[in-house]
A and B are shown apart, each in its own frame.
Chain A
């Protein structure tokens, strides 16, 4: 899940009686699964919440290039290098679709970028963890993209048309990403002792941060309740986390790797695994900027933006000159 703890109106779901006729008509459309399009009337809270959610998702795609990009120049074969490059390029493309979807809500890409760089907007906590070995690239695809897919597949049915359409495109690519990650893990788990050790180490380090991607339990959250009523959030964080664990544990077993949780146990009654909660104090530390890589990630983005200023200015100046010359010639 690339959007965590997105704030909504903070007031909970509005009672039908308290809704204006416009709001009631809007909610009827959402309830009937009719997509909301950019020109349609929408509550201000819906628009703002979506900007926060889509923007955070877009930022996550962009910052998410960095931990994987960290291994492009060290990928072990030509094929692996190409697959990883293509994957990271896809992430940039996802960022582009999502910024475009956000733009339909009346915010520019530059405004969103400024909000990311100034720390006003967040990106997913997961990208503040380092990729230390090649197996981490496998683990990111398998676990991080796997967790993202859990959230994004239902979001294909989200109420906002441009967001839903972006999600449909993104999901197609994400499932390929997850498969390539698992494929790396397979090679590592079946490889030399050193490779097996890398694979286990990667699982050890990425397991709990992956569980944190879904955010803390939101069963009682007023923000989540409103977002669910608006169908911009489809499942609760706990539902998605459970689904992720249930899907991932057998995959780890197949790889011959051990999930780093002593309390992990199949629960016949609920038809799912019991598992340990991640350390939520660590999660909040990471959100506050104290994760292992927060400083480096944001610095990289700020540097890219500042170093690129002259390029953006130069290309813009040229485009203006060209247009002026064209007008002069006519």
Chain B
């Protein structure tokens, strides 16, 4: 681990933690509003897992940054341009189908990535990945089942799931758009270069979409700017208005 640039490692950790934070937040918005009670419970479970992972990733990021900040400081006191999550996870929930499609597209990526992080040269990354990968193995199983069930359900559910896939597919490419940070992490053995995960991802997603009788759009266009922080969507700012409100309105208060 000696050769890793601290700033770059911190950026990598923010990418991991911001994905789980923002997606966990989005999923938690469903609480009390799901189509069936079992889904309410399952979505809350998923959100809880993601937020638990956030504490670990952002906690480690804060430790690496070494300026006395905490995971909470990172979650509640950064502005939108400091966030490093994929654009996909900050998109609004839409209907239940859109939420589950977003979840599956992310879970598939997350499970492939966490599988590789089990071999990380960084012990803390390895430990977090060990805990998270068990949870995410279940997430991807559940979201895949639901995508299949709704894709291969009624005419209406099929149409809604296809619309969700069409809407979200252009946000998939960003997962694999590597940059200098990824190359530095790969060189140090901390994390794989995401570009190398695409084939495994496509195989998994292709299998599930085929079973769901859904067609993957024939376009490789990818929206970018989330994981670099260069251009988030307008939605992130609104999400932060909710999430950070108390911390911003009452600075320094102990909750």
Q: Which residues of A contact B (CB under 8 A)?
A: 62, 65-66, 69, 72-82, 85-86, 88-89, 92-93, 95-96, 99, 109, 134, 184, 187, 191-192, 194-195, 300, 303-305, 307-319, 321
Complex CA distance for A66 and B34, rounded to whole angstroms = 12
Query: How many whole Å from B21's CB to the nearest CB in chain A?
Result: 8
Question: Which of A78, A184, A311 is B35 in contact with, Cβ under 8 Å?
Answer: A311
Q: Do A300 and B149 touch across chains, with their CB atoms under 8 A apart?
A: no
Given contacts A76-B247, A307-B96, A311-B96, contact A85 B33 (CB under 8 A): no
Kindly provide the distance from the CB of A271 to the nearest chain B CB, expressed in whole angstroms: 37
Contacts A72-B31, A92-B41, A308-B96: A195 and B250 contacting too (C-beta < 8 A)? yes
Contacts of A319 in B (CB 8 A): 149
Q: Which residue of A has the minimal Cβ distance to B95?
A: A307
> Given that A304-B35, A314-B154 are known contacts, is A85 also in contact with B28, CB under 8 Å in the complex?
yes
Q: Which residues of B contact A93 (CB under 8 A)?
A: 41
B155 to chain A, nearest CB (A): 9
Partner of B153, one of A78, A80, A85, A317: A317
Which residues of A have CB within 8 Å of B233? none
User: 9 smallest A-B Cβ distances: which pairs?
Assistant: A308-B35, A314-B157, A314-B153, A65-B32, A89-B44, A76-B255, A311-B35, A76-B246, A69-B32
Question: Which of the four size classes fits the interface of chain B?
Answer: 35 or more
Which residues of B11-61 are within 8 A (CB) of A?
A: 21, 25, 28-29, 31-41, 44-45, 47-48, 51-52, 54-55, 58
Task: Specify the chain B residue showing the minimal Cβ separation from A91.
Answer: B32
Q: Which residues of A contact B52 (CB under 8 A)?
A: 82
Interface of A is mostly: helix
B40 to A195, Cβ gap below 8 A?
Answer: no
Distance in angstroms from B216 CB to nearest chain A CB is 20
8 contacts between A and B (CB under 8 A): A72-B31, A76-B76, A85-B31, A134-B255, A304-B35, A315-B146, A315-B149, A315-B153
Output the least CB separation between A37 and chain B (Å).
Answer: 25
- Is A96 in contact with B36, judged by CB distance below 8 angstroms? no
As a 0/1 sequence over residues 155 to 188 of chain B, the CB contacts with chain A under 8 angstroms (1 = contact) are: 0111010000000000000000000000000000
Q: Looking across the interface, which residue of chain B has its beta carbon closest to that of A62?
A: B37
Give the Cβ gap from B106 to chain A, nearest Cβ, in Å.
19
Most buried by B among A78, A82, A321: A78
| Chain A hits for B32, CB < 8 A | 62, 65-66, 69, 88, 92, 300, 304
Q: How far is the CA of A86 from the CA of B43 in the complex (A)?
A: 11
Minimum CB–CB distance for B225 against chain A, Å: 24
